[in-house]
Copies of this chain bind each other. A is one copy, B any other.
Amino acid sequence: MKTLTVDLADRSYPIFIGQSLIDQTELFAPYIKGKQVMIVTNTTVAPLYLEQVKSALTDYAVDEVILPDGEEYKNLDTLNLIFDALLEKRHNRTTTLIALGGGVIGDMTGFAASCYQRGVDFIQVPTTLLSQVDSSVGGKTAVNHRMGKNMIGAFYQPKCVIADISVLNTLPQRELSAGIAEVVKYGLICNYEFYQWLEKNMEALASYDSAVLAMAVELSCLDKAAVVAEDEREGGIRAILNFGHTFGHAIETNQGYGVWLHGEAVAAGMVMAADMSWRLGNITQTEVHGLQSLLKRAQLPCIPPSEMTNQNFIDLMQIDKKVLDGKLRLVLLSSIGEAVVTSDFSTDTLHQTLAAGERLGL
């Protein structure tokens, strides 16, 4: 087992990465201060792993709430089911919530923990590759609004993250691939060596090789933790973690939450951002095609939905959280391995990228 630390002063916390961790009492116990625990999970994950987690928590009064599975349920109504369960079971301020599931469960549980009785503790047990490398690090929690993704939320850090590589064995291929999109992102925005390593190891990664998965999770978490430690509340550099996300969120919102997986939308979004970076002279067209090829090897989409118009994108991108005083800012590549946040591009260039959707296909 490896232990990384996300360094955030009095909100610092460890990430445990390894095999067969979710039933280990000694990983949970130091981070549970009261007697009550509420496990929040979903209908897919509960039959697979709920009992294992409960077997680690026999010293506590454990309750559970099992939510429907899917991004389309990541909203205030579902959030309220968590509050209902907490209040029905009379959980008090010393309770600890445990998020057992993917990014949707993590985001909702974290947000519920941030506002139940104005803040209780929570622990992340991410069960998808995407949540292990992304949403469990950095304390961004949120629910969606019908007019925009992750529009309602909080910055709220977990007490610890238990990233068990073994549980990825039961992850469907499509979800594994979605997670790989975020892994590729770290290489692109801040770690050229990692990107080269991914080019060598993509087939092993996409076919559940556990050693390669463990390495990918560790390197991704290290990269993300370093960025978050520098800028917890996204005043500046942290925004580079949104590479591909402004285009990607537009795709997700346009298609309906849950139709495209988040990682799939990010994959297509990263190609669009790379295309625009090429148009601005930052990277070569060969590198854009190289990225597309890498994503295809991970069985990821690398063009946006053909029916989405330029106007669809423009409308949805205007409500992105990075918009400042009406001006759209995008995360673009200055090279493979380095990203910048910029509003220094012409509307023409943006429109060319949006119109290039078809042509981006290899």
A321 to B35 CA separation, bound complex (whole angstroms): 15
Contact A83 B152, CB 8 Å, known A35-B325, A90-B319, A321-B92: yes
Instruction: Decide if A151 touches B325 in the complex (CB within 8 Å).
Output: no
The reply on A154 being an interface residue by CB < 8 A is yes
A325 to B140 CA separation, bound complex (whole angstroms): 29
* Chain B residue, CB-CB nearest to A148: B87
A34 to B327 CA separation, bound complex (whole angstroms): 13
A140 to B119 CA separation, bound complex (whole angstroms): 11
The reply on A26 being an interface residue by CB < 8 A is no
Total count of chain A residues near the partner, CB < 8 A: 38
The reply on A14 being an interface residue by CB < 8 A is no
The reply on A80 being an interface residue by CB < 8 A is yes
Instruction: Decide if A325 touches B76 in the complex (CB within 8 Å).
Output: no
A119 to chain B: which residues have CB within 8 Å?
154-155, 233
A326 to chain B: which residues have CB within 8 Å?
92
As a 0/1 sequence over residues 293 to 307 of chain A, the CB contacts with chain B under 8 angstroms (1 = contact) are 000000000000000
Instruction: Decide if A87 touches B319 in the complex (CB within 8 Å).
Output: yes
A90 to chain B: which residues have CB within 8 Å?
318-319, 323
The reply on A94 being an interface residue by CB < 8 A is yes
Contact A80 B87, CB 8 Å, known A114-B154, A118-B155: no
A93 to B153 CA separation, bound complex (whole angstroms): 13
A324 to B117 CA separation, bound complex (whole angstroms): 12
The reply on A2 being an interface residue by CB < 8 A is no
A151 to chain B: which residues have CB within 8 Å?
83, 87, 116-117
A83 to chain B: which residues have CB within 8 Å?
145, 151-152
Contact A88 B147, CB 8 Å, known A142-B118, A324-B94: yes
As a 0/1 sequence over residues 203 to 237 of chain A, the CB contacts with chain B under 8 angstroms (1 = contact) are 00000000000000000000000000000010000
Instruction: Decide if A154 touches B325 in the complex (CB within 8 Å).
Output: no
A83 to B323 CA separation, bound complex (whole angstroms): 17
The reply on A355 being an interface residue by CB < 8 A is no
CB within 8 Å of B: which A108-150 residues:
111, 114-119, 140, 142, 145, 147-148
As a 0/1 sequence over residues 95 to 109 of chain A, the CB contacts with chain B under 8 angstroms (1 = contact) are 000000000000000
17 contacts between A and B (CB under 8 A): A34-B325, A76-B79, A76-B80, A83-B152, A84-B145, A87-B147, A87-B151, A92-B321, A94-B324, A115-B152, A117-B151, A118-B140, A118-B154, A118-B155, A118-B321, A119-B155, A119-B233
Known A114-B154, A119-B233; further 16 A-B contacts with Cβ < 8 A: A34-B325, A83-B151, A84-B145, A87-B145, A87-B147, A90-B319, A92-B321, A93-B321, A94-B325, A115-B115, A115-B152, A115-B153, A118-B140, A118-B142, A118-B154, A118-B233
